[in-house]
Every structure is written in C-alpha cells, then in structure tokens.
Amino acid sequence: MPQQFVLLPVTESYLDSEVLAHTIISPFMCLTHALWDSAVRWSSDCGVAYIETDYFGGIGTQQAIAWRDASIVFGPNTAETMVDRRSKLTRHYGGRPINDALAAIGVTTDKDMDEFDTLGLERFRSFDEIYDEN
C-alpha cells in the first residue's frame, strides 16, 4: 500500500473459529482480544490502526482504534451515517474515526484526498472478493 502501510484483512473464517467466538471487544463487531493483543505488540514497531465499516447504500457505521508504542493514540470511536426521517437528508454523527485513526498512525493526505482515499482503501469493499481472486 502507499506510504509503506500494510493491510491485514480479518477474514470470516478467522472470526468463525470457536476459540474466538465469544471474545469480541465492544463496540466493535470483529475486534477480538487476540487481535487487540497482537495490535498492541505490533505497535511497538509501527503504528497500527484497526478499522471496521458496516455500510449498505451509504448508510451505516464505521469504527476505529489506533496504537503507537504499545499505547492507544486514538479511539475507540464510532460514527454513524443515517437518513433523518423528517428531512430525508443523510446525517453524519461521530466524526470520521477511520481517517482520524489513520492520521494518528502517520498517514499523510495526498492532494485533495482524505487518509482513507490516499491509501486506496476504497478498493477493499469486501475481503471475500480478495480471497476469491487469489
């Protein structure tokens, strides 16, 4: 990935293992204690951001946390995008956790793009597609 960052996808098969079934850390949907411990260890050498999204048709949530030097430097934070029923307008609540976490580990923006787009993360809508291709 750009700027010497690495993407490590969390697959459904990893999450489906019985050992991890009951170890999800709230408010996340997939962050396990084992992943948390690994992120803390890895962050001793480099910044680590754990990000999650759950969107359909532009509506949904995103969550993120980031570590550096084995300490949390951002989050955990959650944001939600929803449609206001009265005005029928899309509303954003909670800021931009993914971009903020990426900035906290050193991602620098490129031109008129945010951190997410600078790294090209829009290419990864589903990790299932990545693993089906390879």
Q: Tens digit of pLDDT for each residue in 98-119?
A: 999 999 999 999 889 999 999 9
131 versus 91: the higher-pLDDT residue is 91
Percentage, residues of the chain above pLDDT 90: 46
Of 37, 41, 102, 93, which is closest to residue 66 (Cα–Cα)?
A: 102
Kindly indicate the confidence band of residue 67, based on its pLDDT and cuts at 50, 70 and 90. very high
Whether the per-residue pLDDT at 12 is higher than 80: the answer is no
Average pLDDT over the chain, rounded to an integer: 85
Contacts of 120 (CB under 8 A, 6+ apart): 1, 2
Q: Collapse the DSSP code of 3 into the 3-class scheme (helix H, G, I; strand E, B; otherwise coil) and give the result.
A: helix
The tokens describing 96, both together, are 């931009």
Where do the DSSP E strands lie in the chain? 48-56, 59-68, 71-83, 90-93
pLDDT greater than 60 at residue 28: yes
Residue 34 has pLDDT above 90, yes or no: no
Domain boundaries, given as residue ranges, for the chain: 6-133
- For residue 90, pLDDT beyond 50: yes
Residue 60 and residue 53 in contact, taking contact as beta carbons nearer than 8 Å: yes
